[in-house]
Chain A
Amino acid sequence: MDQPKSIVKLLMWIGVAVAGATAVGGIALHRGETINSVWFVTAALCVYALGYRFYSAFIAAKVLVLDASRATPAERFDDGRDYMPTNKWVVFGHHFAAIAGPGPLVGPTLAAQFGYLPGTLWILIGAVFGGCVQDFVTLFFSTRRNGRSLGQMARDELGPVGGVAAIIGVMLIMIILIAVLGLVVVNAMKHSPWATSTIAATIPIAILVGLYMRNLRPGRVLEGTLIGVTLLILAVAGGGWLDHQEGLRSWFDFDAPQLAVLVILYGFTAAVLPVWLLLAPRDYLSTFMKLGTMALLAVAIVILHPEVKMPALTQFTDGTGPIFGGKLFPFVFIVIACGAISGFHSLISSGTTPKLLSNERDARMIGYGGMMLESFVAIMAMIAACVLDPGVFFAINSPAGVVGGAAADAVATISSWGFPVTVDQMNQLAHAMGEATLFARTGGAPSLAVGMASIFSTAFGAGLLAMWYHFAIMFEALFILTTLDAGTRVARFMLQDMLGNIFPSLGRTSWYPGVIATSAVVVAAWGYFLYMGTIDPLGGINSLWPLFGISNQMLAAIALCVATTILVKSGKARYVWVTALPLSWLVIMTSWAALEKLFSPELRVGFIAKANALSTQLASGALPPEKVAVTQQLIFNIRVDAVLTIVFLVTTWVLVLDTLRISYRVLSGRKHPPLSEEPHVPTRLAQEWMRD
Chain B
Amino acid sequence: MCRRDWLRNGCGIELMTRRSSILKNIWQGIRSLTGEDAYERYLAHWREKHGDEGGVPLDRKAFFKQQQERKWNGIKRCC
Contacts and interface: CB of A to CB of B under 8 A. Distances in A.
B37 to A, nearest CB: 9
A81 B32 contact: no
A221 B77 contact: no
Nearest to B35: A221
Interface in A369-428: none
A344 B75 CA distance: 10
B32 to A, nearest CB: 5
Given A90-B29, A280-B72, A486-B77, 14 more contacts: A80-B46, A87-B29, A90-B33, A101-B78, A214-B65, A219-B36, A275-B72, A348-B78, A351-B75, A352-B75, A483-B79, A487-B77, A490-B75, A509-B73
Nearest to A347: B75
Contact of B33 (A78, A94, A218, A482): A94
Interface in B38-79: 38-39, 41-42, 44-46, 49, 60-61, 63-65, 67-79
B78 A218 contact: no
Interface in A331-380: 337-338, 342, 344-345, 347-348, 351-352
Given A275-B72, A352-B74, A493-B73, A102 B79 contact: yes
Given A80-B42, A81-B70, A222-B31, A214 B79 contact: no
A87 B32 contact: yes
B41 A80 contact: yes
A476 to B, nearest CB: 12
Interface of B: 29-36, 38-39, 41-42, 44-46, 49, 60-61, 63-65, 67-79
Contact of A221 (B36, B60, B65, B74): B36
A86 B38 CA distance: 12
A242 interface: no
Nearest to B33: A93
B31 to A, nearest CB: 7
B78 A345 contact: yes
Interface of A: 78-82, 84, 86-87, 89-90, 93-94, 98-103, 177, 181, 213-214, 218-222, 225, 275-276, 279-280, 283-284, 337-338, 342, 344-345, 347-348, 351-352, 482-483, 486-487, 489-490, 493, 509, 552
**Which of B46, B68, B78 has the most CB atoms of chain A within a 10 A radius of its CB?**
B78
15 contacts: A80-B45, A81-B70, A98-B77, A101-B77, A101-B78, A177-B79, A218-B61, A219-B60, A219-B61, A222-B30, A225-B34, A280-B72, A342-B78, A351-B75, A352-B76
Contacts of A342: 78-79
Contacts of B30: 222
A82 B45 CA distance: 12
Given A93-B33, A279-B72, A219 B64 contact: yes
**Which of A89, A219, A345 has the most CB atoms of chain B within a 10 A radius of its CB?**
A219
Contacts of B65: 214, 276
Contacts of B38: 219
Nearest to A350: B75
**Which of B34, B35, B67 has the most CB atoms of chain A within a 10 A radius of its CB?**
B34
Contacts of B71: 275, 280
B16 to A, nearest CB: 24
Query: Which 9 A-B residue pairs are closest in the complex by CB-CB distance?
Result: A80-B45, A103-B79, A219-B64, A218-B61, A101-B79, A486-B77, A275-B72, A93-B33, A347-B75
Contacts of A493: 73-74
Nearest to A103: B79
A44 B72 CA distance: 34
Contact of A284 (B34, B44, B49, B60): B34
A109 to B, nearest CB: 14
Contact of B69 (A84, A275, A351): A275
A186 to B, nearest CB: 17
Nearest to A349: B78
A338 to B, nearest CB: 5
Given A80-B41, A220-B36, A486 B76 contact: yes
Nearest to B44: A80
A280 to B, nearest CB: 5
Contacts of A98: 76-78
A347 B33 contact: no
**Which of A99, A100, A225, A280 has the most CB atoms of chain B within a 10 A radius of its CB?**
A280
Nearest to A213: B64
Given A214-B65, A219-B38, A80 B49 contact: yes
A214 B64 contact: yes
Nearest to A484: B77
A325 to B, nearest CB: 22
B78 A99 contact: yes
Contacts of B42: 80-81
A181 B77 CA distance: 13
A79 B33 CA distance: 18
B58 to A, nearest CB: 11
Contacts of A489: 72
Contact of B77 (A78, A86, A220, A283): A283
A218 B79 contact: no
Contacts of A490: 74-75
B32 A86 contact: yes
Contact of B78 (A82, A86, A284, A344): A344
Contacts of B46: 80
Contacts of B39: 219
A275 B33 CA distance: 20
A181 B29 CA distance: 32
Nearest to B31: A222
A276 B61 CA distance: 12
A126 to B, nearest CB: 16
A276 B70 CA distance: 11
Contacts of A80: 41-42, 44-46, 49
B45 A338 contact: no
Nearest to B69: A275
